[in-house]
Amino acid sequence: MDLPRASGFAVPQHLFDSDAISAHYLAGRSTTLVLTFGGVGRDPLLPPEVEFIGSASNHGENHVLAINDLRRTWYSQPQVIADIERAVDLTMQKVKPRRVVTVGNSMGGYGAILFAAKFGFNATLAIAPQFSMNDFVVPERRWSEYRENFGAMLAESIGAALMNSSATTLMLHGVMGRDIRHIELFTMRPRLHHGLVGGESHGVGIVMKARGVLAPVIERLIADDVEGAKQLLSSFKVYWRDQTARDEAEYIRAMRKEGSALRAQIREIRLQRRAMQQDG
């Protein structure tokens, strides 16, 4: 199959039909390929949405391969894995990239780490990835409706892939909410830059995009400038996990306390507005 060439108005093209994954290709001008891995999506009755393709493309500069796990298996079923390998091989043969970066959020962040390690890619941006979807490792009630879809090849955790990965990995988690049980299980390793974002929860990637920093962070990773990528996040309250465990625990407690106080203020404002509406 011939891949489409970049043009003034690029439209993502289906690579092939599969009931396990969707694979869309967007042509670029450079020698960089960005692989985006989608999350579960907003509606379990609809296929997951293609994510990050605009931010990854950088106005047509980069080639983009956007992958979605249609079965929502955390990229673990054998057919899902085989189809992704096919899509990646096809794209790599045609594009012949000099640098490959993977990007994903939540389940997509999990997939981005897995396949960067599998193929030996250069860099990864993983936003709010789970450490494990194995109940024996992390008791997790979220996404329980998808558990029956998990394949026999579901890893016990993402830890082994991270440990074996040669990719420079920028990983971000919001410290508010239930992601904390995953955060605590990630251990530091060479080339892993793990940021804990104060005041944010599992939706930290949405906030990054809204603030206009998502695409620039991806570009810094493409340029092999992880410190520049971290600097772009300076407007967030980020703790980079390179200090002591005590420092980290104190930071998390402070940020969670600050977030709780903010939520209490928001609840009070809503109650006041409701009271005013009832009086009116």
Where do the domains of the chain lie? 13-242, 244-280
* Structure letter (DSSP) for residue 153: T
Q: Radius of gyration of the chain from Cα atoms? A: 19
* Structure letter (DSSP) for residue 152: T
The residue with tokens 């002591």 is: 244
9 has pLDDT over 50: no
10 has pLDDT over 80: no
Check residue 89 and give its pLDDT.
95
Check residue 50 and give its pLDDT.
87
Instruction: Give the pLDDT confidence of 104-123 residue by residue, as tens digits.
Output: 999 999 999 999 999 999 99
| Cα first-last separation, the chain | 65
CB 51 within 8 A of CB 239: no
pLDDT band with cut points at 50, 70 and 90 for residue 1: very low
pLDDT band with cut points at 50, 70 and 90 for residue 260: low
Model pTM score: 0.86
Mean pLDDT of 88-114: 96
Check residue 249 and give its pLDDT.
67
CATH number of the 13-242 domain: 3.40.50.1820
251 has pLDDT over 70: no
| Of 42-46, 63-67, 129-133, the least confident | 42-46
Check residue 26 and give its pLDDT.
94
pLDDT band with cut points at 50, 70 and 90 for residue 187: confident
Count of C-beta atoms within a 10 Å radius of residue 272:
10
Distance from C-alpha of 185 to C-alpha of 163, rounded to nearest angstrom: 13
